[in-house]
Amino acid sequence: MAGSSNGNVRPTMADVAAHVGVSRQLVSLVLGDRPGPSTRTRERVLRAAEELGYRADTAAQLLRRARSRQVGVLFTMEHPMDADLVEALYPEAARHDYSVALSAMLANRTERQAIDELVGLRCEALILIGMSAQAPEDLARVAERVPVVEIGQRTNAAGTDSVRTDAVRGVRQAVDHLVSLGHRRIAHVHGGDLPSAPERRAGYLEGMREHGLQAYVDLVPGAYTEEAGARAASALLARGRLPTAVVCCNDQSARGLMETLLRAGRSVPGDVSVVGYDDSRAARLSFLRLTSVRQDVNRIAELTLGAVAERLEEGRTENTHVVLPTTLTVRDSTAPPHP
């Protein structure tokens, strides 16, 4: 072992560098706790320094500080899909030998506060599920401190990765399905500017155009909540003539719409076929049986933690953005329209 053949000779930075196979300058940066080296390189240098006995106390202290192997997850309390994703992230994190720290977005708690809390807990990376309101430049500043992976949206902030599904294609699948059943008057309850909502709206418009149904385009304002779906149903009922089918921006919106239609004496799918998005647990409830665009949460979790591991363990610095395909799960809420 370099520098340790004589017990009276203290190992040098050059010995540590030779042991790891890196430059002395890099070792100096690591042992000086200065920025530059990747997390994995930093860990290797600190372990070598501790093994060789070079400034052992300092090296051991820095090594303990360098790795928490904890990943922070920021999510909302409002959306079941977030809970499904959190549940899928836990076993995938464990597979990479990471623990998970959760921080929820609340009405009285800003996203910035939630992010700062996770960083303060020594999280080595952050996973943001869906609802990031951070400006790209603000998110980029966070990414300078720790790797950031966005689920469900892509802000294009410098230094961030993203994993999301092909929302345009997903809603196209919903429209294709309804048209194949014979529907023409198909409405879309959209989610405004919420994450992924513009893409879902674009998929609806594209599908209607491809089927020559531009004259039947019907965009109804909504959001990702049951209450928004209920309001959309009330607006449709107030017209007097309902569309024969509705594609909702997510399953919660679809549930609120369906329950409001049923309370008004209208049947689903007898009077109106309804399609949701997410294929969440709610869609599978026996009293809903909602046809829904499925997002594969297990695959999303796998790719998200894979992106984290590539940053932390392999030193990847370039951004990656993954778009996953969707599938349509057909259940009892869609049927051919009444003649």
| Residue listed under structure tokens 């569309």 | 243
The pLDDT assigned to 48 comes to 86
Helix, strand counts (H, E) of the chain: 12, 12
For the question of whether the overall pTM of this predicted structure is more than 0.85, the answer is no
The pLDDT assigned to 140 comes to 86
The pLDDT assigned to 133 comes to 59
Which tens digits make up the pLDDT trace of 166-195? Answer: 999 999 999 999 999 999 999 999 999 888
Q: How large is the C-alpha radius of gyration of the chain?
A: 26
329, 279 contact by CB (below 8 A): yes
The pLDDT assigned to 256 comes to 97
Distance CA 218, CA 189 (A): 9
The pLDDT assigned to 55 comes to 58
Which tens digits make up the pLDDT trace of 200-230? Answer: 999 999 999 999 999 999 999 999 999 999 9
**Domains contained in the chain, CATH given:** 13-66 (1.10.260), 70-165+297-324 (3.40.50.2300), 167-295 (3.40.50.2300)
Q: Which two tokens stand for residue 210?
A: 């491809």
**Burial class of residue 326 in the structure, from the number of CB atoms within 10 Å of its CB (0-12 exposed, 13-18 middle, 19+ buried):** buried
The pLDDT assigned to 132 comes to 57
Q: Identity (one letter) of the amino acid at 251?
A: D
Which tens digits make up the pLDDT trace of 223-269? Answer: 999 999 999 999 999 998 999 999 999 999 999 999 999 999 999 99
The pLDDT assigned to 33 comes to 67
133, 153 contact by CB (below 8 A): no
The pLDDT assigned to 52 comes to 83
- Bridge partner residues of 100 (DSSP): 71
CA distances, 161 to each of 84, 123, 310 (Å): 20, 17, 11
* 3-state class (DSSP) for residue 72: strand
Average pLDDT by stretches of 10, the chain with 339 residues:
50 85 82 75 84 62 64 84 92 92 78 82 89 72 90 88 96 98 98 92 98 98 96 96 97 97 97 96 92 96 96 89 97 94
The pLDDT assigned to 110 comes to 73
